[in-house]
Chains A and B, each alone.
Chain A
Amino acid sequence: MIELQGLTKRYGDKLAVDGLTCTVRPGIVTGFLGPNGAGKSTTMRMMLDLDRPTAGSVHLDGKHYRQLRDPLKVVGALLDAKAMHGGRSAYNHLLCLAQSNGIPRARVAEVLDTVGLTSVAKKRSKGFSLGMGQRLGIAGALLGDPQVLLFDEPVNGLDPEGIHWIRNLMKNLASQGRTVFVSSHLMSEMALTAEHLIVIGQGRLLADTSMADFIAQNSRSYVRLRSPERERLLDVLSGSGITAVTAGDGSLEVDGADGARLGELAARHQIVLHELSPQQASLEEAFMQLTAESVEYHAHSAPAPGPAPGPQPPGSGWGTDWQKKGS
């Protein structure tokens, strides 16, 4: 379990992470989502005590990272694929990590086998492809067989086979009861792996919700209607108490309506329809809308960049504001 308490990081005047409070639970894959520059990597570096928070704290299973006596056996992290010396062989890279935590040497061969790098164990990692580097980084994260796993953009630059492998690996790790925390800027990827979502934008918590809730709240379904008699159709719809919105291309959009009912209504009034199609907004769109709103809000109502506001409890402020609008 990872607990973030009012985590804040300031670089000069820029707030990279702003009062982040949330909890990452064991047993499931938790997706950490945000656009580029939202503060995901900074947050993960602060979790590992690589960057010192300006305010707030991170606790891993109740302890601060610095207090861990054998950190690799508690937390495994993949930060970036190339956080290794290219001149060292895969085996030696893992060996020096294992030795620093008193992990038996035999474990190195085991994790190399797990990630499928046994055949290139003696090769220098300089010549590795991005995918192989990613696998070696994951081997390093698994070395201590830890309870908590952090992956920063693990699918970046991977081929479909590699993406599939990482996806299953993360799900398996979580099903063993471990805490798995994965950052990504791809909503579509998270929809396939994560069960819980933490969304941040401009360093602030935007949503802390289960994936199922997020999908339910954000997959806006509507029916698109196109007709040469648009005005009459609008009258008929409003006469039946149905609100229709005129879209940019002249079509009408009706939120949450039943397509069959709209078709029957039009037929009863003998209105010609050129299109009657149920539509589903994608999660990617929902995510973009969610994060775009945070940017928009920031630009309009933050004229004086004052000191950081206090820690926000999850579910209040940004998240709920948005959820009201969205649903």
Chain B
Amino acid sequence: MTAPQHPQPAAPQAPAFAPEAPQWTGGYLSPIPVRKATLADALASEWTKIRSLRSTMWTLGVMVALVFGIGCAIAAAATAVDDNGGGGKDMSALSFGVFGVLLGVICVITLGVLTISSEFGTGMIRTTLTACPNRARVLTAKAIVFFLLVFTITLVSTTLVGMVAESMLQGQWTDRTTGEMWLRATVGVSLFVALIGLLALAVGTIVRHSAGAITAMLGLMLLPLVMTMFMYASALSEVRKFLLQYSIPYELFVLFASGTDGPDSSGPTGWDPVWIMMGVVAVALGGAYAALMKRDA
């Protein structure tokens, strides 16, 4: 009536069962070399993930097309008007790049959110976290890969647009462009855009839902500016000014256009937008780490 506990005497490897043994030593040993997984492994994995999706290629392709296409188109439109100085003392030929980047930011937001929310949506996150139970490492690797990717692509496109605009507007605007302006309109803008990408990644991690997180990010980007349009009451003028000066489009414009004292010295000037965005991203990423570590996947 009672069957043996191990009805498998044929298997030579079948180890004797020791109920309270803390470490099981017998059984299967893999020929694959064992070594500790590191952040470098996680980075390689995330790089494979991001480059192996068509949505990445499409979104970044559209972004480059927008930044480059619209930047050049606006600069070309400006050549038609011989209006040296009409744009104010802070404008330079590089400033025309802002419109393309503004639209490109939308692609960065979408991709930043999707990088993590698509994993939650498809269930891939469970596979990812099984492969790497160190959740902080997963998010860190995603953040580094995405930041560097966006930074590089933005840097290349803004530099190209800047060079095209400078050559198109030879003699009209070019004399104003300083080295510092070049640096700010390329490296500064790329840092700012990549930081917005990190913010989107953080929001995607917290919200976990693609549509919800993208909506939240677009709202964050556009709502302050839209609200200022309706704040005519003089009592609200301070609020209006604040909302305007700290809205993402305005900050982007500051990076592109302002001289050392800025278009309006009361708001952020020079490199300020980058530092402000860094603070915001630090807080959001902190929340994202906490959410990812604490929640069930």
CB <8 Å contact, B127 and A177? no
List the B side residues contacting A27 at CB < 8 Å: 6, 8, 11, 13-15, 27
How far, in angstroms, from A268 to B1 measured CA to CA in the complex?
32
A276 to chain B, nearest CB (A): 25
CB <8 Å contact, A100 and B45? yes
List the A side residues contacting B180 at CB < 8 Å: none
A221 to chain B, nearest CB (A): 12
CB <8 Å contact, B123 and A84? yes
Residue A293 at the chain B interface, CB threshold 8 Å = no
CB <8 Å contact, A48 and B130? yes
Closest to A63 in B: B23
CB <8 Å contact, B53 and A210? no
How far, in angstroms, from A101 to B37 measured CA to CA in the complex?
5
The segment out of B28-36, B67-75, B104-112, B149-157 that lies at the interface is B28-36
The segment out of A140-148, A157-165, A185-193, A241-249 that lies at the interface is A140-148
Given the known inter-chain contacts A71-B133, A101-B37, please indicate yes or no for A210 contacting B48, CB distance below 8 A.
no
List the B side residues contacting A83 at CB < 8 Å: 122-124, 126-127
List the A side residues contacting B46 at CB < 8 Å: 96
How far, in angstroms, from A84 to B131 measured CA to CA in the complex?
12
List the A side residues contacting B42 at CB < 8 Å: 100
How far, in angstroms, from A26 to B28 measured CA to CA in the complex?
9
Residue B17 at the chain A interface, CB threshold 8 Å = yes
User: 1/0 contact trace for A293-314 toward B, CB 8 Å?
Assistant: 0000000000000000000000
Interchain CB contact (< 8 A) of B131 among A69, A88, A97: A97
CB <8 Å contact, B131 and A61? no
Given the known inter-chain contacts A27-B8, A83-B127, please indicate yes or no for A71 contacting B32, CB distance below 8 A.
no
List the A side residues contacting B30 at CB < 8 Å: 73, 144-147
> How many residues of A are counted as interface, with CB atoms below 8 angstroms from the partner's CB atoms?
60
Given the known inter-chain contacts A71-B131, A87-B54, A102-B37, please indicate yes or no for A210 contacting B5, CB distance below 8 A.
yes
The segment out of A49-57, A232-240, A258-266, A283-291 that lies at the interface is A49-57
CB <8 Å contact, B52 and A96? yes
Residue A95 at the chain B interface, CB threshold 8 Å = yes
Closest to B24 in A: A1
Residue B228 at the chain A interface, CB threshold 8 Å = no
Residue A107 at the chain B interface, CB threshold 8 Å = yes
B297 to chain A, nearest CB (A): 4
CB <8 Å contact, A176 and B13? yes
CB <8 Å contact, A72 and B131? yes
Residue B2 at the chain A interface, CB threshold 8 Å = yes
B163 to chain A, nearest CB (A): 35
How far, in angstroms, from A28 to B123 measured CA to CA in the complex?
29
List the A side residues contacting B27 at CB < 8 Å: 26-27, 147, 177-179
How far, in angstroms, from A96 to B53 measured CA to CA in the complex?
12
List the A side residues contacting B55 at CB < 8 Å: 87
CB <8 Å contact, A145 and B31? yes
Residue B241 at the chain A interface, CB threshold 8 Å = no
User: 1/0 contact trace for B40-51 toward A, CB 8 Å?
Assistant: 011011101100
Residue B90 at the chain A interface, CB threshold 8 Å = no
A38 to chain B, nearest CB (A): 18
CB <8 Å contact, A104 and B32? yes
Given the known inter-chain contacts A73-B32, A103-B32, A195-B8, please indicate yes or no for A85 contacting B48, CB distance below 8 A.
no
CB <8 Å contact, B7 and A195? yes
B136 to chain A, nearest CB (A): 11
How far, in angstroms, from A147 to B13 measured CA to CA in the complex?
13
Given the known inter-chain contacts A77-B130, A145-B32, A195-B7, please indicate yes or no for A100 contacting B2, CB distance below 8 A.
no
Residue B81 at the chain A interface, CB threshold 8 Å = no
Closest to B124 in A: A85
What range describes how many residues of B lie at the interface? 35 or more
Interchain CB contact (< 8 A) of A70 among B23, B35, B122, B129: B35
List the B side residues contacting A75 at CB < 8 Å: 130
Most buried by A among B29, B37, B54: B37
CB <8 Å contact, A66 and B124? no
List the A side residues contacting B34 at CB < 8 Å: 70, 73
User: 1/0 contact trace for A166-193 toward B, CB 8 Å?
Assistant: 0000000001111100000000000000
Closest to A29 in B: B8
How far, in angstroms, from A27 to B15 measured CA to CA in the complex?
7
CB <8 Å contact, A96 and B45? yes
CB <8 Å contact, A213 and B2? yes
How far, in angstroms, from A213 to B30 measured CA to CA in the complex?
33
Residue B229 at the chain A interface, CB threshold 8 Å = no
Query: Within residues 22 to 53 of chain A, which ones have a CB less than 8 A from any CB in chain B?
Result: 23, 25-28, 45, 48-52
How far, in angstroms, from A119 to B183 measured CA to CA in the complex?
50
Closest to A76 in B: B130
CB <8 Å contact, A45 and B296? yes
Closest to A67 in B: B133
List the A side residues contacting B129 at CB < 8 Å: 48-50
How far, in angstroms, from A213 to B1 measured CA to CA in the complex?
8
Additional pairs, 19, CB under 8 Å, beyond known A88-B52, A177-B14: A26-B24, A45-B126, A48-B126, A49-B129, A68-B133, A73-B32, A79-B130, A85-B53, A85-B124, A96-B49, A96-B52, A97-B45, A99-B45, A102-B36, A140-B127, A177-B26, A212-B2, A212-B4, A213-B3
CB <8 Å contact, A100 and B15? no
How far, in angstroms, from A104 to B48 measured CA to CA in the complex?
14
CB <8 Å contact, B53 and A62? no
12 residue pairs of the A-B complex, CB under 8 angstroms, read: A28-B6, A69-B36, A73-B30, A82-B123, A84-B122, A103-B32, A104-B32, A147-B29, A175-B8, A177-B13, A177-B14, A210-B5
CB <8 Å contact, A82 and B122? yes
List the B side residues contacting A84 at CB < 8 Å: 122-124, 127
